Structure 1
Amino acid sequence: LRSTIIGDAVAKALEFMGHKVLRQNHMGDWGTQFGMLLAHLNDKLQANEVAETALSDLEDFYRVAKVRFDNEEGFADRAREYVVKLQGGDAQCLALWQNFIDVSIAHSEEVYHKLSVTLTRDDVMGESAYNHDLANVVSELQAQGVVVEDAGAQVAFLEELADKNGKPAVYIVQKSGGGYLYATTDLAAIRYRKSQLNASRTLIFTDARQALHFKQTEIVARKAGFLAADDQYQHCPFGMMLGKDGKPFKTRTGGTVKLIDLLDEAVERAGALLATRDNDFSAETLADMADKIGIGAVKYADLSKNRTTDYIFDWDAMLSFEGNTAPYLQYAFTRIQSIFAKANVDMSACDAVIDIQASQEKSLVTKLLQYQDTLEQLIDDAAPHVLCTYLYELASLYMKFYEACPILKEDVTAEQKASRLAICALCSETMGHGLGLLGIATLNKM
């Protein structure tokens, strides 16, 4: 969840600010784990089970395959044989592997659609895409003296990250048996993005536990000339999503939470919340509201936190209509829309000169003028939470303005009304745009 929605928000903001953004979905579609997966799938197919059925629940499929790998006699050996065949280009293994990739991408696309994320199948550039280039990468590193042979492996010794005793950090790019590692793939990806995509700034969104790996990777890439001196290589780490007990977020039974199930539950909870409120909306409208509120609540709860920190996943807090939440911002947005509906005024026609009279007007307009600076900070720091904070402060100031500065009352002059409607229109435009960058839907009624 975090890498996808944080990266998407930053990408959208960069594009809005005029940058050309190339998305690269670096899927983990290769590696030794596929040996056990292919062996398990082959057994399923031998039992006349259809691949699509066998792979309908990838998380469960992986869990069962791992149990077999750890406990079933002979299975681990078969799994290792499949790894060798796969890496050797065996046609049957590649066909089985492609089944996994197709199902996995289809599953991801379903989730991306629910999240309003802009990643597509064309953005997929998984680990397997670099297989053909790994030997070349190692050869270049050898030729430049960046790596040396150590106990049969190809290793870079990084003095820059030496420990307190002066022992350099070890970075292996090829194992003694000839196999490659994630490090090799990441170096190949850096070289590709520079030489083929001409990327001047690369942002990598992964959890914070990989921070050292990417620091080491950057050092090796710069020594090898895969990155120019002025190229930016920015690992954007994020913390973990925790349960109320402060431990990694799990299901009630202790299992891994499936993102698609989490989103479905969010919509269900939002629907139940709406059902407790007096309304005369149709069932179809309520379902649409529940979808937008539920999905928005989950996304905003994540995006509104500094990405470098862990955060507590709390249904009640994220679905609240009070505080720094998506429902609060969505509600504030609907309040603005209701003003124009009551006034029977076209928002796009509200271009009157703004005449600031009340302190609440001044505070609100001042905040509106800070939107550009907020987006600059977001893209510089790759930190969507600064936009969330801005939108919450903007919504809060709008609520104060709404209470203190009448717009449609009879004693309001035509000039005051036009000025305040113009302020409302700017608030609507800014809030709607900001939420759009975060991938959070707005509502006209709530």
Structure 2
Amino acid sequence: MADPLVILTERLAPAFAAVRDAACAEAGTDPATVPAPPTVRRSDRADFQADGALPLAKRLGRNPREVAAEVQEAATAALEGLVAELELAGPGFLNLTLDDGAVADLARRAHADAALDVAPDADAGTVVVDYSAPNVAKEMHVGHLRSTVIGDALVRVLERLGHTVVRENHVGDWGTPFGMLIEHLVDVGEDTAVAELSVGDLNGFYQAARASFDGDDAFKERARRRVVSLQAGDPETLRLWRILVDQSTEYFQTVYDRLGVRLTPDDVVGESAYNDALPAVVADLDAAGILVLDDGAECVFPPGFTNRDGEPQPMIVRKGDGGYGYAATDLATIRQRVDVTGAERILYVVGAPQRDHLEMVFAVARMAGWLPDDVVAEHVPFGNLLGADGKMFKTRAGTSVRLVDLLDEAVDRARDAIAERNPDLVGEEAEAVAAAVGIGAIKYADLSSDRVKDYVLDFDRMLAFEGATGPYLQYAHARIRSIFRRGEVDVGTLTADVDLALGQPQERALALALLGFEGAVRDTARTSQPHRLCGHLFDLAQTFTSFYEACPVLKADDEATRASRLVLCDLTARTLAAGLDLLGIAAPDRM
């Protein structure tokens, strides 16, 4: 563990608890009812500030400065060797300035550790992440970008912290549209259909099927009969359906591989996988006494949910025609994830409009006993991707933009920018860097935005080499690696016993920024908000720039200072690369 914020929080917590416990004992209050977190954060008045005395004093009905003074006294011994100055300030703040030697020791320890001294979570468990979820025989469009890259970043961060992460790509592979899709496959022939789908012409295939369905009554009747055959398990219909699913899955994987996300065909769990479990969902809800027949449909009315008229809102499990609602499948997935997978936390990375539906599903699952209190189910919502006009990002014709077209444009623009900045970069290396920069720019622009908000896709801004962009961070990493090439320095010679000198304020500031990496990673895992890690990496890159401008590295005054600054450079490059990797973004050594 290298993050001073995490260490300070752990060392201050007993002092806050001791003050709380003493006050509660005197007042005859149960300490368990009085939270006492230290609430440590970075500060411009010192290195860190603990604000916890103010809310604790309010809960205890005491003067906050008096409470802070008691915490200060109680914490002194625990902070020895780490904190050089512990000052009481303002209405009850505790300002903490770290000992320079302690900062150097922590930075040296992080540099010596391949994991940058970021240890696995003590309570690491099994987490299911449900994300991406395109529809079979339909093109992946820009709307799939957010779920895919946000989910991938969360998977990487959770795995980095030692959790067992189960990736689930809940693709839409079932339902009435498959009647027309299968009939269109029959009409054009299997070979032609496979050829269209394998090259990614999913939109063309789907639109042709829809045109036949809308304009040909005989085709429409065949499609309806085919749906009945599909649901009845007709072997030939299932074989044709499997062609659609397999070809779509292969195409989706080419997009995932290009995006650089960890999803594989083994992670695909379509809606159809739960078909056999749906009758038991209905039967068990009925046995639990919570299933209600409402206007011919079998529903559950979870408490607290109402429609626009203020009337109780039903969640339809089975429709009046005998077909199952989406909620039935969602309930079956929860049972599977809890009972079979052993999930302790389930993340649903889906758009904000699904909020009400998911909240109802979670509520019904808890009513039925399928989602125990010790299992956390979280909706990880996100906003929309907008064009420059502030409206949904579309083509000029008003249709959804294919995700592969978005990636193509980003890489093309990155290729031009790289050629202008570094004409010596050619061939395969230039192509690899263009792909890394272009796709990295799109992913960073998405992940660096607070996910619950809409954001505008602006190629010029996201591909800029200045500001909070992916290329800026990638360039910062490449710039550091160029220092070692120019100085012909082998990073393997930077041993753990280098004495880190933090005499210059920029050196000390860089060391502190580096040590904040662990906290940013844990914060991202806790909140499911990748923009927190993005923000830390941007701050780190800016802090390095200030350091590099003020502190000569290769031309340092003496060999000891040179070695110390090279260690800081190497640790910065490794931290940037590790952080970008957690976001699913490559860090080229040359740009």
TM class by shorter-chain length? over 0.9
* CA RMSD between the two structures: 1.5
User: Within 5 A, what are the aligned runs for 1:107-122?
Assistant: 107-122=251-266
Residues 380-405 of structure 1: CA distance to partner in whole angstroms, max 9, x if unpaired?
11111111111111101111111011
Residue 587 of structure 2 aligns with which residue?
A: 442
Distance 2:182 2:154 in 1: 36
1:98 matched residue in structure 2: 242
Say which of 167, 189, 201 aligns to 2:333. Answer: 189
- Look up the SS of the partner of 1:408 in the other structure: coil
Q: Deviations over 1:79-105 (max 9, x none)?
A: 222111111111121111111111111
C-alpha distance in 1 between matches for 2:357 and 2:215: 31
d(CA) in 1 for partners of 2:493 and 2:165? 33
What's 2:508 paired with? 362
Q: 2:540, 2:196 → 1: CA distance?
A: 49
Give, in whole Å, the separation in 1 of the partners of 2:352 and 2:164.
Answer: 26
1:385 to 531, 543, 549: 531
Task: Tell me the amino acid that sits aligned with residue 522 of structure 2.
Answer: E
Answering whether residue 195 of structure 2 is matched by residue 53 of structure 1, we say yes
- Please tell me whether the aligned partners of residues 218 and 233 of structure 1 are also in contact (alpha carbons under 8 angstroms): yes
For the structure 1 residues 164 and 110, does the alpha-carbon distance in structure 2 shift closer, same or farther, using more than 3 Å as the test? closer
2:566 is the counterpart of 1:424: no
Residue ranges of structure 1 left out of the alignment (5+ in a row): none
- 2 CA distance for matches of 1:216 and 1:67? 36
Aligned equivalents of 1:69, 1:156: Cα separation in 2: 34
Matched AA of 1:376: R
One-letter identity of the residue aligned with 2:509: S
What is the identity, as a one-letter code, of the residue corresponding to 1:59? Answer: N
Checking the alignment, whether the CA contact within 8 Å between 1:156 and 1:172 is kept in structure 2 is: yes
Give 1:102's aligned amino acid. Answer: D
Q: Which residue of 2 aligns with 1:237?
A: 381
Deviations 1:301-341 (A, max 9, x none): 11111111111111111111111111101100011101111
How far is 1:146 from its partner?
2.0
Distance 1:49 1:107, change over 3 A: closer
Match of 2:301, SS? strand
How far apart in 2 are the matches of 1:137 and 1:278? 60
1:38 to 158, 161, 182: 182
Give the superposition deviation at 1:164: 7.5
Deviation at 1:354, TM superposition (A): 1.5
Letter matched to residue 560 of structure 2: E
Task: Name the SS for the 2:381 alignment partner.
Answer: strand
Query: 1:277: how far off?
Result: 3.0
Please tell me whether residue 28 in structure 1 is matched to residue 167 in structure 2: no
Distance 1:166 1:90, change over 3 A: same
The superposition leaves residues 152-195 of structure 1 with CA deviations (integer Å, 9 ceiling, x where unpaired) of 21111122123586521110000011100211101000000011
The question of 1:11 aligning with 2:160 is answered: no
> Would you say how many aligned residue pairs link Structure 1 and Structure 2?
443
Q: Is the 8 A contact 1:348 1:425 kept in 2?
A: no
Query: Percent identity, aligned pairs only?
Result: 47
1:349-377 CA-to-partner distances (Å, cap 9, x unmatched) read 32313221111112211111111111111
- Structure-2 separation of matches of 1:165 and 1:299: 41
Question: 1:297 is matched with which residue: 433, 441, 460?
Answer: 441
Uncovered stretches (5+) of structure 2, i.e. residues with no partner: 1-144
CA distance in 1, matches of 2:415, 2:344: 45
CA distance in structure 2 between the aligned counterparts of 1:312 and 1:70, rounded to whole angstroms: 35
Among 358, 371, 378, the alignment partner of 2:517 is 371
Please name the residue that 2:126 is paired with.
none
| Residue 307 of structure 1: aligned partner | 451
Structure 2 CA distance for aligned equivalents of residues 209 and 69 of structure 1: 29
Bigger-Rg structure (1/2): 2
Q: CA offsets per residue over residues 273-318 of structure 1, 9 Å max, x none?
A: 2233352222222111111111111111111111111111111111
Contact 2:451–2:531 at 8 Å: present in 1 too? yes
CA contact (8 A) 1:435 1:441 kept: yes
2:419–2:425 contact (8 Å) kept in structure 1: no
